Structure 1
Amino acid sequence: MTNKVNMKELFLEMQQDMLMKLSLIRKHVTHAPTKGNAVEFSWIEFLGTYLPNRYCVDTAFIVDHTGTRSDQIDLVIYDQQYSPFVFCHAGVKYIPAESVYAIFEVKQTLNKQHIEYAAKKAKSVRALKRTSVPIVHAGGTYPPRPVFDIVAGIITTSSDWKPPFGKSFQEVTGALEPLQRLNIGCTLDSGSFLLQPDGTFDTSSKEETWIFFFIKLFTQLQNLGTVPAMDIDLYSQALDSI
């Protein structure tokens, strides 16, 4: 007899564990900045645990070779294989734009203000200049790969809207500029959404919020492939001796 694992049940238990953790934070942490940091850390820890090891997850600023810096990003999914420099100064991380796969704003609730804030953060990252150089391998050289569209989204515990992804949500997201576009999001106690190429949204049921979000996010990361190899020479021009 073949032993079977109920994968849906495992995902639902993961979702319930996360909801319980965030509920405890909301109930017992009354200082707003501390509460926000605790929620961000919970999501970073959660995604860092379940995403493959090739993906790093942190809070950080994103920078490009011109020295331009993004707004602070609550949750960055990034790669260090082909873009090895992650700068850390006084506990603050600065990640090269070439390294970034996805960015998320983490808030308590889904509403107009928080969507527009997340969209502003997304634009501050997507507007950065990214480089791409050839990759030398044992059999020759791979040409520079085109830079891809960085995935951007929002993660919340609950929604101010009922239903969460109805008319109000679609009006707010529909008014966003291309660089502000939010591809994916999770409202843990209500549902998740995924933006389709035609501008419509796929949404999950309340019961399968985390399953939907995690699988759709992982699929998007897989579809991006590997980040471009950064032009280290352009970054090194900040040095007087180069």
Structure 2
Amino acid sequence: MLKHSIHAAAKKMQIDFEEVTENINHMGERGSSREAILLRYLRNYIPSKYEMDNGVIIDGNGTQSRQQDIIIYDSFNSPVLLDMEKTKMVPIESVFSVIEVKSSLKKTEIEKCVKNISSVKSLVKNGLVEINSPTAGFVFAFTSTTTLETLLDNLVEANHDVEKHKHISVICVLDKGLIVNVSKKGLKDIVLVPDEDTTLAIIKNTAENNLMLFYLLLMQYLNQSSVSVPNLLKYASEGELLNIEYTIPKRHVPLDGYYEFNGGVIDIENVNKIMKDSDLQEKICEGKANSEDIMLYLSKQLNNIVKHAEKINGNPQYTIDFMGKIYRVFEIEKSISIFNKLNSGEEVDQEDLDLYTGFCKDMYEQYRSQF
């Protein structure tokens, strides 16, 4: 029964397309009509859980695909991010497949199909659960003035710089046949997700059987594929629809937490230690500190600063950058030792005093040069 229904649909599609071709001269309207013919057929034979529309696909990074003739996506769990009369915007995580629809397939149209489908397969999926299957790309054409063998050559040429997993899954030319991917191991099994172990092959048949096979391959992919619920907060923040910034009152900041920075982590406890002298640090940052303020701050925070830097870089820290100049840690430690002795009233020999005076002068001049 299904076979007879699809055969009848194939004949009806050809008749409808011929009428469209004869009666519509404007290419835009003709394109919309050919897509409507295929959509009408697909909606009769594909379960209602699969929604089908034309539009653009977007990922959580804000990257958009090219305009797609038909997008097949999850109609139960997927939000449509933009829903206008002539186009929609659908998140990539919800998309099972796309279909490019052509009146007559030729080399230039194949090149467009490759670019359009590759633009979809380049999008990044970021679902709430990691169950996303690859998005498949199909091409459907009503006819072609070119042989399937030449179309295959055109496809190979257009795919030259395209990664294998971004290739088209199936091309159907209704009145000629199909171009499919088959496994190199045995050269008989049709593979709907192209990879390095597949190669292109041709299937020639009647229009009725071509439509039947196209339908079966599309349904097989839909049945074996899984999509996820998109992470809508990521879409909102990356698309600048929503600015999310966290503020935690100081008394509630967890000391056992951490910040992420440059691929590493920074313990909040270490940050708090550095911030204990925040008034002195603020004075230095505003250019209002004197030489003694700088040494006082370093005497209290040098160890924390060094540990903090080692935590970020993952390596021992022998130098630090102070106001755009690199100073060796052991020289700073020596000057701090002398600074502490002077503050406690201990005796300091002339050599150490000269070392300390010269170091403080150099550091202060470097500091002042930044303001």
Q: TM-score range by the shorter chain?
A: 0.7 to 0.9
State how far apart, in whole Å, the 1-side matches of 2:90 and 2:212 are: 29
Structure 1 residue matching 2:141: 3-state secondary structure: strand
- Residue matched to 1:239: 241
Percent same amino acid among aligned pairs? 22
Q: Please, which of 7, 17, 21 is the counterpart of residue 12 of structure 1?
A: 7
Instruction: Identify, as 1 or 2, the structure richer in strand.
Output: 1
- Residue matched to 1:141: none
* Post-superposition CA distance 1:82-125 (Å, at most 9, x none): 33344214642101111111112111112111111100001111
- Residue matched to 1:210: 211
State how far apart, in whole Å, the 2-side matches of 1:157 and 1:123 are: 22
Q: Which moved more, 1:201-210 or 1:113-122?
A: 201-210
Q: Please, which of 69, 78, 82 is the counterpart of residue 74 of structure 1?
A: 69
Structure 1 residue matching 2:97: 3-state secondary structure: strand
- Residue matched to 1:154: 139
Does the CA contact (< 8 Å) of 1:120 and 1:180 recur in 2?
Answer: no
Larger radius of gyration: 2
**Greater relative contact order: 1 or 2 (C-alpha under 8 angstroms, separation 6 or more)?**
1
State how far apart, in whole Å, the 2-side matches of 1:38 and 1:25 are: 7
Unaligned runs of 5+ in 1: 135-143
Instruction: Name the amino acid aligned to 2:168.
Output: L
Residue 186 in 1 paired to residue 188 in 2? Answer: no
Does the CA contact (< 8 Å) of 1:104 and 1:118 recur in 2?
Answer: no
State how far apart, in whole Å, the 2-side matches of 1:223 and 1:204 are: 25
State how far apart, in whole Å, the 1-side matches of 2:155 and 2:86 are: 34
- Residue matched to 1:173: 155
Cα offset, 1:204, TM superposition: 4.3
- Residue matched to 1:140: none
Instruction: Name the amino acid aligned to 1:148.
Output: S
Unaligned runs of 5+ in 2: 184-197, 245-371
Q: CA RMSD in A?
A: 1.9
Cα offset, 1:12, TM superposition: 1.2
Number of positions where the alignment pairs a residue of Structure 1 with one of Structure 2: 223
- Residue matched to 2:230: 230
State how far apart, in whole Å, the 1-side matches of 2:145 and 2:166 are: 21
- Residue matched to 1:132: 127
Structure 1 residue matching 2:210: 3-state secondary structure: helix
* Post-superposition CA distance 1:56-96 (Å, at most 9, x none): 11111111122211110011111133333442146421011
Q: Which moved more, 1:100-109 or 1:189-198?
A: 189-198
- Residue matched to 2:220: 219
Q: Which moved more, 1:21-30 or 1:201-210?
A: 201-210
- Residue matched to 1:47: 42
* Post-superposition CA distance 1:173-204 (Å, at most 9, x none): 22312254111122112223332242132524
State how far apart, in whole Å, the 2-side matches of 1:72 and 1:174 are: 23
Instruction: Name the amino acid aligned to 1:193.
Output: I
State how far apart, in whole Å, the 2-side matches of 1:154 and 1:12 are: 19
Instruction: Identify, as 1 or 2, the structure richer in helix.
Output: 2
Does the CA contact (< 8 Å) of 2:9 and 2:41 recur in 1?
Answer: no
Instruction: Name the amino acid aligned to 1:121.
Output: N
